[in-house]
Amino acid sequence: MLNHRLEKELNKQVNAELYSAYLYLSMSAYFESINLPGAASWTRVQAEEEQFHAMKIFDFINERGGRAKLVAIESPPVEWDGIVNVFEEILKHEQHVTSLIYNLMDIATEEKDYATTAFLQWFITEQVEEEASVTEMLNKLQLIGGKGHGLLMLDKELAQRTFVPPAAN
């Protein structure tokens, strides 16, 4: 059975993951508006991934005898100062999400909830991958100065990303 403290914190994380999906959809719309369809596609795929994360936690809460509770999702920003700025914001956001997951792990450890610590390990691994992927993309963008022919080539690379839900454990 999931204890009340963890249930409350996991529900907050569901909201944070859904906010992340909204944020990435907003970024996707921004990229469409500045004619970067590859970046729009990349952030849209990222939104799908965040929705998957939210549902994974949602289901876990329910499976453990808790109750998933949805609350209002904050509105995301809608304007940025170019693609480099967006990816800088993505990296900051993913680092923030990592800190939220670490906080959940701290609480699960304090509560001696080993099932939740095992569950959260997947998210910790996922966040390492997320931060590395975004850092790599940001480094490429900074290398090309976020414009010109290099940006067009990178935008084509970004368009290749697809969402594939992880296989069930």
Distance from C-alpha of 50 to C-alpha of 93, rounded to nearest angstrom: 12
Q: Which CATH architecture has domain 4-158?
A: Up-down Bundle (1.20)
Residue 168 pLDDT: 61
Q: Positive or negative CA dihedral for 145, 20, 92, 130? A: negative
Q: What is the mean pLDDT of residues 58-77?
A: 97
Instruction: Parse the chain into domains and list their residue ranges.
Output: 4-158
User: Can you give the pLDDT at residue 104?
Assistant: 98
Alpha carbon distance 159, 40 (integer Å):
8
Q: What is the pLDDT of residue 164?
A: 84
Written as one string, the DSSP assignment of the chain is ---HHHHHHHHHHHHHHHHHHHHHHHHHHHHHHTT-HHHHHHHHHHHHHHHHHHHHHHHHHHHTT------PPPPPP---SSHHHHHHHHHHHHHHHHHHHHHHHHHHHHTT-HHHHHHHHHHHHHHHHHHHHHHHHHHHHHHHTT-HHHHHHHHHHHTT----PPPP-
* Rounded average pLDDT over 36-63: 98
- What was the pLDDT predicted at 25? 98
The reported pTM is 0.94
* Calpha distance 101→97 (Å, rounded): 6
Q: What is the pLDDT of residues 79-134, one digit of tens each?
A: 999 999 999 999 999 999 999 999 999 999 999 999 999 999 999 999 999 999 99
**Inter-axis angle of helices 37-63 and 148-158, to 10 degrees?**
40
Mean pLDDT, rounded, for 60-70: 97
**According to the model, what pLDDT value does residue 169 have?**
55
End-to-end CA distance of the chain: 21
Q: In the numeric block, which tokens belong to residue 35?
A: 């004619």
Sign of dihedral through CA atoms 152, 48, 3, 124? Answer: negative
C-alpha to C-alpha distance for 12 and 69, rounded to whole angstroms: 9
